[in-house]
């Protein structure tokens, strides 16, 4: 599997976490480039300043919207759910939109 695909742990508070934040890019996006600011800094790890006991993850999948993905959406969803279960993600999963996160990092 490519390093750009699947679930990747970005930040872990010494194994003692109370929340999981999973960042999933949209169509045509990328697991890390999607979540960079105007200075090209990857910002999801910064959220541990606001949520010290939060683990931060990214999930990458083949999302080529223009050329067409070889996998359909249900396959992506199944792979994501399997990865979350396998890595024990889910005590508290936070889903944030870009606009909500933007307020935190500006």
Identify any residues that bridge with 6 across adjacent strands, giving them in sequence order. 60
pLDDT in tens, 11-67: 888 767 888 888 888 877 888 888 889 999 998 888 888 888 888 999 888 876 545
Q: Identify the weakest region by mean pLDDT among 27-31, 52-56, 68-72, 92-96.
A: 92-96
Query: Phi and psi for 63 in degrees, rounded to 5?
Result: -125, 35
pLDDT of residue 66: 46
CA distance 8 to 23: 10
> pLDDT for 1-12, tens place per residue?
567 888 999 988
The residue among 2, 1, 6, 4 whose CA lies nearest residue 81 is 6
Beta bridge partners of 19: 54
- The pTM is what? 0.73
């Amino acid at each position: 599997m490519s390093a750009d695909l699947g679930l990747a742990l970005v930040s872990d508070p010494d194994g003692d976490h109370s929340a999981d934040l999973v960042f999933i890019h949209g169509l045509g996006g990328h697991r890390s480039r999607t979540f960079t600011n105007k200075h090209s800094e990857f910002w999801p790890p910064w959220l541990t300043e606001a949520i010290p006991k939060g683990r931060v993850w990214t999930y990458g999948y083949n999302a080529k919207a223009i050329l067409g993905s070889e996998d359909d959406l249900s396959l992506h969803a199944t792979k994501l759910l399997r990865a979350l279960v396998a890595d024990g993600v889910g005590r508290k999963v936070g889903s944030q939109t870009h606009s909500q996160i933007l307020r935190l990092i500006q």
